[in-house]
Structure formats: structure tokens, C-alpha cells
Amino acid sequence: MKLIGSYTSPYVRKISVILLEKNIAFELVNASPWSNDANVTAVNPLGKVPVLVNSRGESIFDSPIIAEYLELTYPEPPLLPADRLDALRVRQIEALADGVTDATMAIVRECVRGAGEQNENVLLNQRDKIRRGLDALERHAREGLRLNGPVLTLADIAVACTLGFINYRRVMPNWCVDRPVLVTLVERLFARTSFARTAPPVAATLYGAEML
């Protein structure tokens, strides 16, 4: 099994963590969607990562779809509740975390532009999305049901990857203020082997070309 992408992408990291937690052997094929990389476009016509290529040569792309595929084909250990409605609620938290990631990426892309070309309204709007999203995630973490509960879930993995990306790109250094439960959650998860092995490379620049 091959995973196409780079650990600079929080979505690639999310899938890598799932693979490691489920003890699924895979090869990471480093590829960038920003350089028209043939490794990406050959397996995903949209030219986006992550892409999972299974043992039959099938390409599965878009991280929520890959996560669902892995849960269906490798059900142990489960990262979603058996009850379908509860599972949907966990996926809703995953979607919330992914939305915060999307807003973070939008800020990174805007900051690549020259200082005089940046749209301040875009930056303010995306930062507001991040704040609202993190506030909602903090509430979920305090409840300790589908996020920050006794059993690792897809929501935990998605949220930790999102917060790791915010830290990595230094988009909102003060995100941890008034969000103590998220801080505790991410510290606990980052101590797991699956997260330690998938940390993005420290040599990458703040707003370099390798944005995902």
C-alpha cells in the first residue's frame, strides 16, 4: 500500500496516523501537489493529496474518503463508534477540524503574496473561522464524548493534526489561550508513536512553496 503526499500536509498526516494506529504497512511516496508532480496527477486527476493506492492498484483520494475506506477494510482497532449515528457525529467533528485546517491553509496562501498584495479582509475572515472552529472543538473536548474520550477516535486524530498544522505554520500562536482542554489533548496525542513518526519536517519554511 502506498500513500502519496508529504507530512507537511495535515491531511496526509491524518491518514498516516490512521495507518499506523491500525498497524497497516504502507510506503510514503513524497510528492507535492504544487509542482504538477506526476506522482500525484497520475493517481488523482485533481492533483491533490493525500492519495492512497491499495494493493490492487486502486486510487482512493480525499482524506475523509480514505479514512472511511480504511475503517471499512481494516476495522481494528475501530476509530468510529459502531452506532452509525454516533459515527456520523464523530465525522462531524472531523469535518469541523478539516474546516479549521482549510482556513489555516487559506491564510498561508495569502501570506505567500507580497505584503502590499495581501487581502486583509481574507486574513481577518479566515482567522475568525479558526477562532470559532477552535472554540467549538474546545467545547467538544470538554464534553469528552466523541473527542477527548477514553478511546481514540477519528475526531481525536483530525483535531490533533489540525492543531499541529496551526503550530507548524505559526498562523495563530495564541490559539491555546482559553482552550486548556485542547492543549492537554494535543499534548497527550503528540506523545503517541503514530504522531511522533509523522511530524512534519522542521526544515520547511514558514510560508514556502511546499504549503500542503
Q: Are strands 2-5 and 59-61 parallel, antiparallel or unpaired?
A: unpaired
Q: Element (H or E) spanning 51, and its range? A: strand 51-53
Predicted pLDDT of residue 31: 87
pLDDT band at 41 (very low <50, low <70, confident <90, very high): confident
Q: Where does 84-192 sit in CATH, by number? A: 1.20.1050.10
The rounded distance, in Å, linking the Cα atoms of 118 and 93 is 31
In the numeric block, the cell 462531524 is attached to 92
CA distance linking residue 157 with residue 86, whole number of Å? 17
pLDDT at 89 over 70: yes
Model confidence at 59: pLDDT above 50: yes
pTM of the model: 0.93
Please report, for the chain, the start and end positions of each structural domain, with discontinuous segments joined by +: 2-73, 84-192
* C-alpha–C-alpha distance, residues 88 and 120, integer Å: 36
Q: Binning pLDDT at 50, 70 and 90, where does residue 212 land?
A: low
Q: What is the pLDDT of residue 168?
A: 95
Q: Tell me the one-letter amino acid at 95.
A: A
Long-range (24+ apart) CB contacts under 8 A made by 55-62 are 55/1
Topology (CATH level 3) of domain 2-73: Glutaredoxin (3.40.30)
Give the pLDDT confidence of 96-141 residue by residue, as tens digits: 999 999 999 999 999 988 878 889 999 999 999 999 999 999 999 9
